[in-house]
Chains A and B, each alone.
Chain A
């Protein structure tokens, strides 16, 4: 392929076509940068790290939400690449969308460790120990770069703007599954609400588009099982039922801490 065409949906519904010379290894972001530098400096898009870690360059490429810096032009198999702003979000200009609702959903699920004892950090003399098998239960969901691709891909978000979204629920589960967290009460009403976990219908598009394999669909179903266990199936969970895939010990009861690690102490001489 010697030449390629970038067809960008600009503000106002106008489709702008840019002819470019294809270079081996070119990504869609490289093409956009070249267009902006040499052809049309008015083209607006977000980008930063250009290596798939900041999550800024999320956009709709050939009808699928992708990171522009991680999408090789050659992998798309077409000479004309159609680029649009992420669906399900208000367009500010060209390929730049308003991610405030997405970030607001993330904020509202309290994406941080919640501890009951407020004086703890002032008088703590040891760290919390987290076993590697405990970390394995939530580490995958910690890789989220908040690019918004899953939020854009979700069919429920398209219909219901009050839905928390796959990213928020995945992060809520990430902290629920963390043995150091004591914030189940703060999150459960939100997850068990009319716009929480129950609005997911396992379309799987969130996991399909996630550039970091966070697999939010899996996190949502695990969160669902936890909500069912806490609300409804408590007895089954206590009995260690094989029907639930998340181990009951994964989320400790309210008010408990992970056992602190004992540093070896020097004996008094």
Chain B
């Protein structure tokens, strides 16, 4: 009987990544929001100086870095799943995965550049 296989990419690894980044996001996003809430006396109307002062600290860079990677991987993977279901490509499923990886790389590069250059 012919093997009915739609894709070589083992979806379980992609979904496990989604689950793990989701759990990381819940924790880190809570920390991120707590850093910018009335509890810490932060004002929403930010000027240039305030974000710079915060980003200078390694602690904040670590939190923001983790948030960036978890959010981008989780978000772009979610977008990939929606696109996979909506478009359901058969022969070109690898292209969709590749586009997702490229988009992920672009967002990560953008965010990482911001984190690294803001001093």
Contacts and interface: CB of A to CB of B under 8 A. Distances in A.
Partners in one complex: yes
Interface of A: 108, 156, 159-163, 189-190, 192-196, 198-199, 227-228, 231-232
A198 B6 contact: no
A229 to B, nearest CB: 10
Given A193-B6, A194-B6, A162 B88 contact: yes
Contact of A189 (B5, B15, B86): B5
Of the candidates B6, B11, B14, B90, the one having the most CB atoms from chain A within 10 angstroms of its own CB is B11
Nearest to B10: A192
Interface of B: 3-7, 9-16, 81, 84-86, 88, 90, 93
7 contacts: A189-B3, A192-B10, A193-B6, A195-B6, A196-B11, A198-B12, A199-B81
Contact of B88 (A108, A189, A195, A198): A195
Given A160-B85, A199-B85, A228 B12 contact: yes
A162 B11 contact: no
A192 B12 contact: yes
A193 B85 contact: no
B59 to A, nearest CB: 31
A228 B6 contact: no
Contacts of B93: 194
Contact of A108 (B4, B13, B85): B4
A159 B85 CA distance: 6
A71 B3 CA distance: 40
A88 B62 CA distance: 47
A79 B10 CA distance: 51
Contacts of A156: 85
A192 B11 contact: yes
B6 A162 contact: yes
